Amino acid sequence: MAHEEQRDQVIWACRELARLGLTAGTAGNVSVRIPESNLIAASPSSVRYETMRVEDVCVVDVDSGDLIEGERNPTSELLMHLAVHRARPDDVGAVIHAHCVQVTALSLLGRDIPPIMDEQVAILGGEVRLCPHSLPGSQALADAVVEHLGDRRAVMLAHHGMLGVGRDAVQAITVCHMTERLAQIMLAVIPHGEPSVIPAEVQELERIYYDIQVRRKVGRRTSS
Ligand SMILES: [Zn+2]
């Protein structure tokens, strides 16, 4: 079967979302870019993660959104995945959308996550902004997600959840897990006062490290 490696990564990431408690039921969705092509492997709509098979995973053209391979319909949030892959072709190899509890709770307070934790800037690129509510599955939501994600790796979706990106599925899972923990910390602190942020000079150093990582194109070895 074509693109089995990337389709396997989609299934792995879906199961990690469930194992880490980052989403409920089949509510999360994952896409992985297929190297040297304009295609992604994308999770199917409404298939249980534990029974998902390689042939259930869709292969979709990033420009047209057409289904190229697969027996199922792609995720209902396909437009969001396509928009991010089009906007960040060089540094994004995987996109994950999840309905995390802590992130969604924080979104109800209308708060961004400022740079509060060491490694946040180095891994996520800085603050995590809150994207205002739009209809799930809509182009309006896809456009707003791209705008609020900017050049960073995580964005919160008001009344909904989050979207995280990475060079590959492993990094995208790390991004989602870290964002959920940041939201948990914010919710623990807010009742007691305004969260403090890490020192500006540390933010600058971490951002330099992040920029070096981002400039390495997807598909190159990270050790080179
Ligand atoms: Zn959703």
SS3 for 70? coil
Radius of gyration of the chain (CA): 17
Question: 201 C-alpha vs ligand 1 centroid, how far in Å?
Answer: 36
In a domain, 224, yes or no: no
Question: 162 C-alpha vs ligand 1 centroid, how far in Å?
Answer: 8
CATH of residue 73's domain is: 3.40.225.10
In sequence order, what are the beta bridge partners of 89?
none
Question: 207 C-alpha vs ligand 1 centroid, how far in Å?
Answer: 29
Q: Give mean pLDDT, residues 16-22.
A: 95
What DSSP designation does 98 have? E
Helix axes 169-189, 4-19, angle to 10 degrees: 20
Res 217: pLDDT:
72
SS3 for 4? helix
Q: Give mean pLDDT, residues 97-115.
A: 97
Q: Count the domains in the chain.
A: 1
Other C-beta atoms lying within 10 Å of the C-beta of residue 28: 25
In a domain, 136, yes or no: yes
Question: 98 C-alpha vs ligand 1 centroid, how far in Å?
Answer: 6
Res 181: pLDDT:
98
Distance CA 43, CA 209 (A): 31
Question: 43 C-alpha vs ligand 1 centroid, how far in Å?
Answer: 13
DSSP 13-50: HHHHHHHTT-S-TT--EEEEEETTTTEEEEPBTT--GG
Res 71: pLDDT:
85
Q: Measuring CA to CA, which residue among 209, 13, 195 is closest to residue 123?
A: 209
Q: Which residue has the tokens 């933010």?
A: 203
Buried b (16+ CB within 10 A) or exposed e, 144-170: bbbebbeebbbbbbbebbbbbbbbbbe
C-beta of residue 31 within 8 angstroms of C-beta of residue 88: no
Q: Which residues are catalytic?
A: 77
In a domain, 208, yes or no: yes
In a domain, 223, yes or no: no
Distance CA 140, CA 83 (A): 11
Q: pLDDT, tens digit, for every residue of 137-161?
A: 999 999 999 999 999 999 999 999 9
Q: Which domain holds residue 46?
A: 4-215
In a domain, 199, yes or no: yes
In a domain, 118, yes or no: yes
**Planar angle of CA 29, 34, 36, nearest 5 degrees:** 155
C-beta of residue 71 within 8 angstroms of C-beta of residue 56: yes
Q: pLDDT, tens digit, for every residue of 50-84?
A: 899 999 999 999 999 999 999 899 999 999 999 99
Res 221: pLDDT:
45
- Which two three-digit tokens encode residue 106? 């924080």
In a domain, 88, yes or no: yes
Instruction: Band the pLDDT of 220: cuts 50, 70, 90.
Output: low
Question: 77 C-alpha vs ligand 1 centroid, how far in Å?
Answer: 7
In a domain, 58, yes or no: yes
Instruction: Band the pLDDT of 218: cuts 50, 70, 90.
Output: confident
Q: pLDDT, tens digit, for every residue of 173-210?
A: 999 999 999 999 999 999 999 999 999 999 999 999 99
What DSSP designation does 192 have? G
Res 222: pLDDT:
43
Question: 160 C-alpha vs ligand 1 centroid, how far in Å?
Answer: 6
